[in-house]
Every structure is written in structure tokens, then in C-alpha cells.
Structure 1
Amino acid sequence: MNISHHFDDATLMAYASGSLPQGMALLVACHLHWCSECRQRVQEAEAIGGSLLTQIAPLPLDSQALDQVLARLDLNDQDVLGDAMAEEVSAQILKPQVQIPGDIPPPLYHYLQKPLDQLPWKRLGYGAHQLDLHLGGPGATRLLRLAPGVSVPHHSHSGSELTLVLRGSYTDEFGRFAAGDVADLDGEAHHQPIVDTDQDCICLIATDAPLKFSGLMGRLVQPLIGL
């Protein structure tokens, strides 16, 4: 996979620190599955974070802290706990391996559990379908499927928008994005993606605020399509 577009440093730092919303963290994890360059950058960010932690002066713990934690976990019966853990490990070992399609990163397949073409897509309009992952939190996380030649209305963003191409490709004001590429956009970005190949373009998109459509038609249909 020839990946040309990557995340900003700020996004990877936020991912490494665990401060991204669930949908955006999922999207980053999916890209990292394919992109060795961004995996390396996350490792560097984690190393920086670890170094900063070592510079924080430790605070003394209460002498009863460990006993209090164990009491809250209710670990009195270690045999029962050990048996349960052994059963869980055995179940994972004996669980049949699932063949994950190549255009779905494993972190995303955990939510979908089926190929892209078998998902319950919801029609938005001519040549456009979506699937809301209902992850909760601010914004939304969804799959968007556009037919060849179809474009998203020209828009900007109220907040941040992350897009990962799973299949096909599109072109906008920032270049051409193919499978594995990510677009990392903020409120300053204005663009109009259009599918530029003869196959459907399927993207995973995570936002933390609604889009801001520029044209009248986009603003009229926005409440209906939920973007």
C-alpha cells in the first residue's frame, strides 16, 4: 500500500496521550495498522511522554493504599479468579481465526464483523450511502460510500475532521487520496471531495463537530443526512 498522506504531529501526540475521542482514536488505530511511518511517529511520541512522566515528582502513597485497592477489587478468592482467567485464555486460543478482508483494518472489523459490501448501508442520495457507527461522544463516526464521479458538497468544518480511505480514491483541494491515506483537517479547511476512479470510494470519517456546507442545497439537506 503506497500511502502519501499522514496525520499531523498534534493528532498523533493526542492519540499517544489517550486524549482523542473514541471515533478519532479508532480511525488513527486503523491507519496505524497500514502505515509504518505513523507507527514510528507514535512510538516517538510515547517515548517523549514517558520521559516527561519521569520528571514528575512522585507523591507518597498511604500505607494502606494497596489493601484498599485489593478490597475494592474483591480479590479474596484467588482460586476462582485464576480459574476464570484460565478459561478466558483457553477460549481465545481455541477461537477460530477470522479471515479479515484486506480493505478493513482489524480495529474497524471489530465493530463491523462483515465485509464492506455486506454492511447495511443507508442511502443519502444519488450515489451516496453511509453507515453510522454510533460510537457516542462529541461529533460522529461513520462510513461514507460514494459512487464514481459523485462529490460531497463544498464545505468547511466547525471542528476537526479525520478521513481514512478504505477503498477507491477521491480528489479535493488538498490532493488525491487513495486507500490508506488520511486527511487531517481543522476548521480552516474548505474542500469538495470528488470520487475520481471507476469504483466506489469508501471512507471512514470521524468528526468532533458538524460540517459547514457552503451552498444552499448542502445546508438544506444537512439535517436529513446528519453530516
Structure 2
Amino acid sequence: MTEIKHHLTDALLMAYSAGSMPEAFSLVVATHISMCDDCRARMGSFDAVGGELLMEAGAAEMTAGSLDAVMRMIAGEEPEPLLEKSHDNVEYLFPEPLRNYVDCSPDDIKWKKVGGGVSQLVLPTKGEGTVRLLNIPGGVAVPDHGHRGTELTLVLQGAFSDEVDRFGVGDIEVANEDFDHQPIAAPGVACICLAATDAPLRFSGLLPKIAQKFVGI
């Protein structure tokens, strides 16, 4: 099993535990947690603290009709259980949290080219932020860029390197406004990443700036 060296920060884990994180970022965090024993254990600690705080908060006041409303729901028909999607005989790259958004193999994805050989698939989420799958061919460099907000990048296949370090499968890179870099995919298999942003990237080159208007990165 691949050793994961780059993990989520405590601040991100606490925000996820508290349910205060946008769906786009929650998807990246949940996917990383499903791959990382270390962050999953730390997540359990934050959940335990949150549970203690709820216990100490005391009971919430109920409206006069609350009990009747609950009893009517109990007396009514139970909703049909959700059917689990079948993954038989398909080699999946994507961990379970991500399969609810991409229920197919990477070969079946309808990638959209964004320039320089890089392709993407924007995933449908609600609220602030955008999350996408990125497909970067081996040896290809993403244009040099900075950030106007936060970016979480989780490696699902292959690897990439930048000014910070090398990031392999399961590693997550957290970037902010003070961070400029140029990720380069490792030679060989394509690097597939799950990336969430809450603001457009800040590209240095003219061509990426022009393309940005059309691809929405």
C-alpha cells in the first residue's frame, strides 16, 4: 500500500467534522479520509470532541407541534431504500465517496480538454466552490499559477511534483493566496487528481489567462 506523506490540516478536519465546509471541499476531504488511516483516526478524535460539546449544550426547545409531526411521519409510509450502485467487474480508481459523483472507470469519463494536454471533468456540487477531476499526462506541466483562495488537490493516480514536494497517490496539497507553483506530472501513467477551489486561479502566462475564461479554472 502506498505511504501517504501529505495530510489534511487540523483546521480542515475540524471544519469537516463540524459540517461547515462547502460540498466541493467536503468531497475532497472525505475522499482523502477514505484513503488515509492517519487522517481517519484524527477525524474520529474531532468527532468525539464534537459529540461531547453537543452533550453539554443541553436539550433544544421544541415547538408545540413537533411531537405530532414526528408521529405523523412514523405512521406514514417509509421511504424506499436507496439502491446501491453496482461496481461489479469494473476496475475503479475512485474511492467510495467519489463514486457517488463519478460512477464509471476513468476510461469512460468524457474529459474536456483545457489546454497543454490537460483535461478535466467538473463535478456537480452545491454551494460555494468548484471541484473537478484533472487528467495530466505523464511528464506534462500545469501552467505556473497562484491562488486567489484555497485549493485542495488530492492525487488519485500517478504523481506530481512542484516547488513544495512530490505528491503521490493519497497525498493532498493545500494551497492558499500566498502559494505559487507549477505542478509537473511524473513520467509514465497520467496523473489524475481531485481538486477543489473556492476562487479562480491566478495564472502567470497570457495563454492560460485567455483559456481560463472558457474552462472556468
Give the TM-score normalised by structure 2: 0.89
Q: Say whether residues 1:125 and 2:115 are aligned partners.
A: yes
Match of 2:185 in 1: 195
In structure 2, stretches of 5+ residues that fail to align are none
**In the alignment, is the contact (CA less than 8 A) between 2:24 and 2:128 conserved in 1?**
no
AA at the equivalent of 1:205: A
**In the alignment, is the contact (CA less than 8 A) between 1:153 and 1:218 conserved in 2?**
yes
Match of 2:170 in 1: 180
Q: 1:219 Cα deviation (Å)?
A: 1.7
- Alignment equivalent of 2:104, drawn from 94, 111, 114: 114
Alignment of 1:11-30 (within 5 A): 11-30=12-31
Q: 1:12 Cα deviation (Å)?
A: 0.6
Query: Of the two, which has the highest radius of gyration?
Result: 1
Q: 1:123 Cα deviation (Å)?
A: 1.3
Q: 1:59 Cα deviation (Å)?
A: 4.1
AA at the equivalent of 1:50: G
Q: Say whether residues 1:8 and 2:9 are aligned partners.
A: yes
Q: 1:99 Cα deviation (Å)?
A: 4.8
Match of 2:132 in 1: 142
Q: 1:116 Cα deviation (Å)?
A: 0.8
C-alpha spacing 1:62/1:137, structure 2 compared with 1 (3 Å): closer
**In the alignment, is the contact (CA less than 8 A) between 1:100 and 1:109 conserved in 2?**
no
Q: Secondary structure of 2:196's match?
A: strand
In structure 1, stretches of 5+ residues that fail to align are none
Q: 1:214 Cα deviation (Å)?
A: 2.3
Give the TM-score normalised by structure 1: 0.86
More divergent stretch after superposition (208-217 vs 27-36): 208-217
> Once the two structures are aligned, what percentage of the paired residues are identical?
40
More divergent stretch after superposition (211-220 vs 10-19): 211-220
**Distance in 1 (alpha carbons) for counterparts of 2:101 and 2:57:** 38
Q: 1:150 Cα deviation (Å)?
A: 1.3
C-alpha spacing 1:13/1:145, structure 2 compared with 1 (3 Å): same
Instruction: Name the one with the larger helix percent.
Output: 1
**Distance in 1 (alpha carbons) for counterparts of 2:201 and 2:116:** 20
Q: 1:163 Cα deviation (Å)?
A: 0.7
